[in-house]
Amino acid sequence: MNEVSPNTSGRKLNLPVEGMTCASCVLRVEKALQQVPGVSTATVNLASNKATMVLDDTTQLQEIANAVREAGYTLHLPSAEVTADETAFPGDDDRLMRAEESRILKRDFIIAAALALPVMLISMAVMSADFRAAWPLSMETTNLLLLILTTPILLFPGRRFFIGFWQMLRHATADMNTLVAVGTGSAWLYSSMAVILPSTIGLPAGSTDVYFDTAGTIIALILLGRMLEARAKYRASDAISRLVGLQPRTASVEREGAELELPVGDVRVGDTVLLRPGERIPVDGRVLSGTSLVDESMISGEPLPVEKETGDRVIGGTVNKHGSLRFEATAVGRDTVLSHIVRMVDDAQGSKAPVQKLVDRIAAVFVPVVISIAILTFLIWYLLLGAAFTAAMLHFIAVLIIACPCALGLATPAAVIVSVGTGAERGILIRDAESLERSGDISTIVLDKTGTLTVGAPVVEEIIPLGEIETLELLRIAGSAELPSEHPLGTAIIAHARSMKQLLAMPDSFQYEAGMGVLSFLAEDAVLIGNAALMKSYAIGIPDDARLRVRSEAGSTLLYVAINGHLAGAFSLADTPRESSASVVDGWKRQGLDVIMLTGDTEPAARRIAAEVGIVQVVAGVRPEGKAEHVIRLRNEGKVVAMVGDGINDAPALAAADVSIAMGSGTDIAMETADITLMKSDLRGVADAMQLSHATLRKIRQNLFWAFVYNVIGIPLAAIGILSPMIAAAAMAFSSVSVVSNSLLLRRFRTRSS
């Protein structure tokens, strides 16, 4: 709902906007927001009915709401309860607004249809002389009856169109409401004159040239379309609702020796949470005791339960399947993984794809152009072709009603909303619509080795003492020095030390030596652990030892340990490729994509893994800045580069790529940089993200094609008299429904791993 944007200073808000009907509305709300002092950026999404803006801390929300209201729309500010509740999710107020909107549209449609149906039946029947002869009422009385039945349709269910038209008129602009109000208002006004003052328009009393059925039926059909569209839009954006539904309402917490059933909002970091079989995990934490299988499919897309034991991480919203667990709460409220996912999806669904800019430019002139065409149609029929006034008026109304800026405005955002929600439910988190669109143009994929192509859990093969320190002492020192590390090689040493029952101590200070290793201080000892480049940078020589040569030639990774400037030994580590890496790489190559391994590891170690997964292009021994430079060089050659990584050393390269993809087992810094985050550590997720992007772009192209073709064909057909106003209304009502429904087909997307 409200957070600091990582890329801009100030608060970032996603707030629902009521009253928007077409792309023209979007442009007006954006313009109103951008003119408010303190609002640095503002985008509006028609499919989600939301405004996303970044504003400074001095800007008052009421000032923003006033600006939107002046433009003719309503910006819904967060309620005090939601603002104060740290456990509240984005969209808590929005869901209530959508439900109320659907209820009102359903009510209005029922009223309009109930009145319009008899009007249409009577109007059709009195066209027959035989029916008029048998009909007990005179035509004057019949027309008065039609007026009485039709007027409430315009005043009550149809008032939204006329209120919108009046607001647009005040601002000297036009939108879809203008088209509907002018079209139906013209039919009603002419028909009313024919009933009340027929002589003023040259008609005899009791004329059958009245068009109350046109006005009433058009409003009923458009309300039906709006109602179906609202339902389809809700289905398109209900991924957030399903994610929010994963959050339990209560948690069993152990405090002062007693078990308490607390609202999840009262759980604090450090609390001990008790979990029984079948219960949903309330907050993020780390297991203190117990073993179990946890179903994480709703977060990561991983279909198989994951085994959890002491020390393992558990994620709020996932389901404990079998055993009982005690875990320490490590993140609560808005800091949990689930809350982060919901906010990320909320932001992405409100973002705009670059292709939408073209649509916005067209939408800016669409309605005025349609009104001009409608007026020209009337003049040509009435003045040049000599048609009756009523016939020319019907063609005028048909052109106004057939034009559909709604479908045009929904074509891109509807597909993006469904795609982002579908991806999130399958463990693919997309930062924004631009990232989604760029992913469809990828030509080169650059892959880190450790943790991306490989399992990321290297094991210590051998400890090689190169000084006076014994093997176990060397292991204890190295394990302690690496304790703060998140790098897979460091964690492998820590795990090995613990498995050998070594007592580890947290270093007094710790720093990464980018792309080379770490420097830690343990008591009075300075401990260096890293590759040969790190040793060279500190002028520490490496002996020509046969044991080192054998391991290096076998492709193992060697980490050297120096204490107080003297080489003390080396660790030989090896990793294995992920099970899916070879098949995914092969698939990319068959698609014509360039696949490159870019790693800080040694050439032999890199070549060994590359050979196993089928990668020919290997760049090894590269420091973080070198990775970024290599990515930039590829981009300068005209390639669209995706960088896939999971470690802290990948962050510069991720930032330099056209599309950055962080694996789920990666560090926070890598995920903050990434355009796409995979909740599961499986290279198939990268292929899935690319396939989802391609599928989304296809849907966007289909939607835009039909939206444009619909208007390009429909408007001329209405202008030449082939389409009646009521047929035009039905077509216009269902055009936007068809666009959203076509986008909903993206929910059928299946990942390779599912």
Write out the catalytic residue numbers. 448
Q: Which amino acid is at 270?
A: G
- In angstroms, the CA 598 to CA 626 distance is 10
- In angstroms, the CA 118 to CA 588 distance is 62
Angle at 470 between CA 468 and CA 472, to 5 degrees: 155
Give the distance from CA 67 to its chain's centroid: 27
- In angstroms, the CA 383 to CA 151 distance is 31
Q: What are phi and psi of 51, to 5 degrees?
A: -110, 130
Q: Are 218 and 183 in contact (CB under 8 A)?
A: yes
Q: What torsion do the CA atoms of 451, 455, 461, 463 make, to the nearest 10 degrees?
A: 30
Q: In which order are the strands placed within the sheet that holds 292-295?
A: 306-308, 292-295, 319-320
Q: What are phi and psi of 194, to 5 degrees?
A: -65, -25
CA distance to 7, 454, 508, 651, per residue, from 673 (Å): 10, 21, 29, 7
With helix as H, strand as E and coil as C, how does 505-516 read?
A: CCCCEEEEECCC
Count other C-beta atoms under 10 Å from residue 590's C-beta. 8
- Give the closest residue to 507 by CA, choosing from 519, 496, 495: 519
**Contacts for 200-209: CB closer than 8 Å, 24+ residues apart:** 201/389, 205/139, 205/140, 206/138, 206/139, 206/140, 206/142, 206/143, 207/139, 207/143, 208/126, 208/127, 208/139, 209/390
Q: Which residues pair with 18 in a beta bridge?
A: 74
The CA R_g of the chain, rounded to the nearest whole Å, is: 33
Helix (H) or strand (E) holding 140: helix 139-155
